[in-house]
Structure 1
């Protein structure tokens, strides 16, 4: 079973054309890559949260729940940067920068998935010129992330009920014990992929070169207006970064 990220809400983001949201997400990721100042990246992360809450009607708890699996990576980043970069305070600041960048990347992607149904997401990719199979592959790959997370949680709970202990022992011992989770996860993943391939074949995927759609998408005035706002904001981000030279810290100078 594939656990969906999409949440059905009556919001501005939900009614936007998927092409606008896809391009907006890509431009947002590019804009975030322009900066490495921790204050700027933290502000952009908070702004993304505010957009999801105000325009997508997505709860703060729902967004934090999806970001929860990234917490270990954030902790590792915050610990390692002060070690590998001197002075340590500046290393910590760069650790915060990379953590905020990672979290904002993930949040932008999750907002796209939470406000766009799988059908519209595939249509958006196809109408942007991508082959249908490519759009379907991207959609399934993104939707499979919460599936793996749910499978991992279920397997860990099942192993703990059988006396499996992950918290005890050194790092090597813990890594060895993780095989009790990784092997069932691999088997379950292969089984799910096999069932998915059978389902796609039974629906005639690839039988015809040109596909027809029962449901189609169409750009409206609000979509053009939203796209114009996104382009203006992206242009402003470029001007602030390269015109004003704001938001970038030289790491090696």
Structure 2
């Protein structure tokens, strides 16, 4: 069972060359890394949501749904920072900043997956100079994230139907109870990996060093224009960060 993030739409992002979207995603992550001020990061998160909604025609709820598995990490980040950094209020702000940064990283990645079919995503990596096996590995790994999450939820639902209780007891007791989920999850993951390896071998993956493609991708005018806009926005972010000195708060020193 492989679950795909891809959402079929007739949008600008769907028609864009996958290389441009990959470069745009990497640049977007780099831009987010430049800032740690929540007054910058929070608006950037909502701008990313609008980017996926307006250019990719992906509903806001569809963009937010894949972020649910990140919520425990987000909550832990917000709680831990005030405990390790003083004053507490600044720690809370930094916790919020890193939490928003993490959510924006995930959102950018998910928008790429929602607007790019797996075949085009692999071709995009290959045409950017990466080996085909590397592009295929990244693509399968990204697709397997929601599959693993969905599988975990199914196992938990099945165990709860048998009377399994996760909420009761202290942290150690609940951790021990998670073995009834982790063991089936590990077995199912190994089975899926084995089936995937058989499928790849049956298609003679790696038999020839020089690959041919039934479908190929080509850059058009809109793709070059979009690439120029991405580079321009990255230059603007660098100017704001390093020339104007905005968007960054010193944590230590």
TM-score (norm 1): 0.99
Gaps of 5+ in 2: none
How far has the Cα of 1:64 moved from its partner?
1.1
User: Secondary structure in 2 aligned to 1:207?
Assistant: coil
Kindly provide the CA deviation profile for residues 174-198 of structure 1, in whole angstroms up to 9, marking residues without a partner as x.
0000000000000000000000000
2:118 corresponds in structure 1 to 118
Partner residue in 1 for 2:71: 71
Aligned to 1:94: 94
What is the 5 A alignment of 1:1-253? 1-253=1-253
- The alpha-carbon deviation at position 204 of structure 1 amounts to 1.0
SS of the residue 1:55 aligns to = helix
Q: What CA distance in whole angstroms lies between the structure 1 residues aligned with 2:155 and 2:62? A: 23
2 CA distance for matches of 1:149 and 1:215? 31
CA separation in 1, counterparts of 2:247 and 2:64?
26
> 2: distance between equivalents of 1:240 and 1:40?
11
Q: CA deviation at 1:207?
A: 1.1
Shift of 1:63: 1.0
Matched residues in 2 for 1:59 and 1:185: separation?
31
Q: Give me the whole-angstrom Cα distance separating, in 2, the residues matched to 1:77 and 1:250.
A: 18
Q: Partners in 1 of 2:18 and 2:159 — Cα distance?
A: 41
Distance of 2:229 and 2:64 partners within structure 1: 27
Distance in 1, Cα, partners of 2:233 & 2:60 = 24
Deviation at 1:24, TM superposition (A): 0.5
RMSD across aligned positions (CA):
0.5
Give the whole-Å Cα distance in 2 for the aligned partners of 1:76 and 1:240: 30
What is the TM-score of this pair, normalised by structure 2?
Answer: 0.99
Segments of structure 1 that go 5 or more residues without pairing to the other structure are none
| Poorly superposed stretches of 4+, deviation over 2 Å | none
1-side partners of 2:122 and 2:232: how far apart? 26
